[in-house]
Amino acid sequence: MARVLISDALSEAAVQIFKDRGVEVDFQPDLGKDKDKLAAIIGQYDGLAIRSATKVTAKILESATNLKVIGRAGIGVDNVDIPAATARGVIVMNTPFGNSITTAEHAIALMFALARQIPAADLSTQAGKWEKNRFMGVELTGKTLGIIGCGNIGSIVAERGIGLKMRVIAFDPFLSPERAMDIGVEKVELDQLLARADVITLHTPMTAQTKNILSAENLAKTKPGVRIINCARGGLVDEVALRAALDSGHVAGAAFDVFVEEPAKTNPLFGHPNVICTPHLGAATNEAQENVALQVAEQMSDYLMRGAISNAVNFPSITAEEAPKLKPFIELAEKLGSFAGQLTETGIRKVTIVYEGEVANLKIKALTAAAIAGLLRPLLSDVNVVSAATVAKDRGIVIDEVTRAAEGDFEALITLIVETETQTRSVVGTVLNDGRPRIVEIKGIKVDAEFAPSMIYITNEDKPGFIGKFASVLGDAGINIATFALGRDREGGSAIALVAVDGVTPANVLAHVQAIAGVKQVKGLSF
């Protein structure tokens, strides 16, 4: 019989689900605080169910000789060493959607609290004052609600905002116009949202693209009197710049549930009369905690008893028999997706994946999941191979799979075609006998390049002198070229260079490359 250890406080209903599914349960809700005791007994269990208190380190995993699955009741898995778990073949699952309604409701609650100054009015009234004139509020009806990030939680907030008779606009590069229409929001660019919104609420993950998305520069573009809400991630807003905008009166108020440093003992926003702060309560309702507990128990039971994998953050749903042949193509699909995703800056309408030759006979759903996860991850960092299809669907992205017999020089090819609002991009890859994935065509131009941790992608006019100038720029910057792959559509036409380099190329060096005559696009890539 499979055995599961629950080392954090979890609903009794979750314990019952394990028992009902034929799984033996050891419920020790305080064990997560004692890492030595956890390490001493973890080897007895097939599954470990946790919340945030238990830290599953590489050392703990070394002792987990029988562990097959870790289930996190909640979305964040920062307390699990994912690489170490993956190296040991341990599936790590989370429950990404159990907190969605609760977090959305908290954002709405903070919006009302800001609009009517409820916390300050409560303190004043209970202090024996009666300051009706001091706490003049604003109506939300008819106001414009701007949502940055309109995925699962953002779309729930949009629905609630529409119910409040607000005008709802959204900025999300991955939200298709069709999906926006379905949920009743107007899709806009970020600058439009900043200029029009009376209330801005953030519901996007923290990525390189979204860090400080409300910077000092962008805060200056907002409508005077705007109110800002952040229940998503600390660091999406420049807290120092926001404090200055509050002090000047440009921003009328702010309500934050998340902060750059947590627990937030001090913060630039603290003490301002028009700021409301809560201690990361977005998921803190009885219903949400019950939902994620039940969900993680069901997922872990399904895996241990039937081999089904749901919401895994580190592994696709494949069998042991399929793994050896499928693994290199999963890597290829994910890297082709990542290549396209790192070059995509506008909303994606459709993704077509063509499987040609022997790869068409493999489990293409796992390959598609890997490709979509790679495609979306540059902007949506918490996407995994299991959740990718759902995340794409939430944003109205159409996914089309095509299989066909081999027609060219390769026994197996994967072609990824990404249609955005402004262009169509295609990239083709294969796996050769050495098992290494490689790119063989970009935008119809033949090229032959292995993936490397750091690369530079360049499109340019096919004219003499480019290679020398490019190499000089990198040489002057002390950047070593590992490999250099070139391709062109015709003599004097369009050319592509895919260059592997040692280390990440700084932005100023990429800018110097962009300035070379004939260069159309330059992008630093990482894999």
What are φ and ψ of residue 17, in 5° steps?
Answer: -60, -45
250 noted as active-site residue: no
Catalytic position from the list 203, 233, 243, 377: 233
Q: Which of the 8 DSSP states describes residue 237?
A: B
Q: What share of the chain is helix, strand, coil (3-state, %, to 5)?
A: 35, 25, 40
Place of tokens 């095509």: 402
Q: How far apart are CA 527 and CA 525, in angstroms?
A: 7
Place of tokens 């490689």: 438
Catalytic position from the list 261, 262, 287, 421: 262
Closest to 76 (Cα-Cα) out of 202, 172, 205, 255:
205
261 noted as active-site residue: no
* Cα–Cα distances in angstroms (integers) from residue 234 to residues 87, 256, 368, 381, in the given order: 30, 9, 32, 15
Q: Which of the 8 DSSP states describes residue 441?
A: E
Other CB atoms within 10 A of residue 120 CB = 17
Catalytic position from the list 21, 196, 280, 349: 280
* Cα–Cα distances in angstroms (integers) from residue 527 to residues 206, 330, 342, 354, 502, in the given order: 19, 14, 10, 22, 13
* Cα–Cα distances in angstroms (integers) from residue 521 to residues 494, 501, 508, 510, in the given order: 11, 17, 14, 10
Q: How far apart are CA 406 and CA 173, in angstroms?
A: 35
280 noted as active-site residue: yes
Q: Which helix (H) or strand (E) holds 49?
A: strand 47-50
**Cis omega (within 30 of 0) for bond into 224:** no
Q: Which residues are catalytic?
A: 233, 262, 280
